[in-house]
């Protein structure tokens, strides 16, 4: 199931990427609260099609950024000091000025179940991903240009939103 989902996603991404990225570019400056009902419908459709437990691709190929609060919370949960935690698993990325994972897949992903082993205390970045309904939309919509490559739910949401916008124009 998991492999099927990601294989299907890879094909769909190749087929749709140019058009969807252009669609995002055309809308990233004007997207607003007026689009909220369509975005909510599009997100609902995406989650009807995609189950994160069949995927976990974000945990396999991307890294979250860890805030100071994340590092303190997770290291306490793991009974480590923040320094030990950073030394064992993280690296400081100068470009983004963030702590990120040293390796991928994420060390906290259970590859058999696709579940996060620190789910209750996971980084805020993970809890918020894939930012489909984050406000203001303008601050997050452009991120989907990158995320449609890795996240099947994001691609399904953008595809449906594009379809709904077309219908809205015709009405």
Residues that bind ligand SF4 (CB under 6 A): 50, 52, 55-59, 64, 106, 108-109, 116, 118, 122-123, 126, 129-130, 150-153
- Report in angstroms how near the CB of residue 72 gets to ligand SF4 at its nearest: 15
Report residue 75 CA to chain centroid gap. Answer: 23
Q: Which two tokens stand for residue 89?
A: 């698993």
- How far lies 16's CA from each of 28, 62, 126, in Å? 18, 21, 26
- 8 Å CB contact between 142 and 135: no
- Report in angstroms how near the CB of residue 119 gets to ligand SF4 at its nearest: 7
Nearer to ligand SF4, 38 or 56 (CB): 56
**38-62 as b/e, with b when 16 or more CB fall inside 10 Å?**
bbeebbebbeeebebeebbbbbeeb
Nearer to ligand SF4, 26 or 102 (CB): 102
Nearer to ligand SF4, 71 or 116 (CB): 116
- Report in angstroms how near the CB of residue 34 gets to ligand SF4 at its nearest: 26
From 14, 16, 41, 31, select the one nearest 167 (Cα to Cα).
Answer: 41
- Report in angstroms how near the CB of residue 1 gets to ligand SF4 at its nearest: 13
Nearer to ligand SF4, 96 or 170 (CB): 96
């Amino acid at each position: 199931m998991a492999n099927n989902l990601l294989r299907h996603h890879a094909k769909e991404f190749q087929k749709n990427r140019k058009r969807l990225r252009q669609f995002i570019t055309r809308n990233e400056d004007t997207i607003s609260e007026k689009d909220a009902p369509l975005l909510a419908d599009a997100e609902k459709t995406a989650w009807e099609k995609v189950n994160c437990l069949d995927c976990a691709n974000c945990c396999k190929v991307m890294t979250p950024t860890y805030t100071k609060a994340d590092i303190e919370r997770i290291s306490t949960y793991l009974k480590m000091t923040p320094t030990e935690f950073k030394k064992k698993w993280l690296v400081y990325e100068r470009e983004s000025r963030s702590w990120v994972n040293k390796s991928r897949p994420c060390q906290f992903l259970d590859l058999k179940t696709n579940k996060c082993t620190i789910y209750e205390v996971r980084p805020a970045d993970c809890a918020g991903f894939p930012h489909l309904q984050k406000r203001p939309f303008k601050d997050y919509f452009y991120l989907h240009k990158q995320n449609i490559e890795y996240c099947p739910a994001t691609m399904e949401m953008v595809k449906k939103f594009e379809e709904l916008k077309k219908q809205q124009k015709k009405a």
